[in-house]
Amino acid sequence: MVRVDQTLDARNLICPMPVIRTQERVAMLDTGQILEVHCTDPGAIVDIPAWCRVHGHKVLIAETHGDESIVRLEVCD
């Protein structure tokens, strides 16, 4: 079973809101915690992992299922 510490529902939000909401939630988490983001904006599957690379967080999963994308990330220092 995959450990997820928090889930963020960013469905029905358009760019740049999924990334902004991800950034806000990550700021509330501790190093090592896992955040799973659910979104429907097609750009989020690229934008959230790009934001993670810039800020040093680890992307564990970035995949799309139908109209919904899931990005799971680990918060790093």
Domain residue ranges in the chain? 6-74
pLDDT on residue 70 = 98
The answer, yes or no, to whether residue 77 has pLDDT greater than 90, is: no
For the entire predicted model, the pTM comes to 0.95
Region 11-23 average pLDDT: 97
Architecture of domain 6-74: 2-Layer Sandwich (3.30)
Which runs of consecutive H residues, i.e. helices, occur in the chain? Answer: 17-27, 44-55
pLDDT on residue 2 = 82
Return the percentage of the chain with pLDDT > 70, whole number.
100
pLDDT on residue 75 = 98
**Beta carbons of 75 and 35 less than 8 angstroms apart:** yes
Strands 34-39 and 6-10: parallel
Task: Report the distance separating Cα 44 and Cα 61, nearest Å.
Answer: 13
**Beta carbons of 19 and 10 less than 8 angstroms apart:** no
Residues annotated as catalytic are 15
pLDDT in tens, 38-65: 999 999 999 999 999 999 999 999 999 9
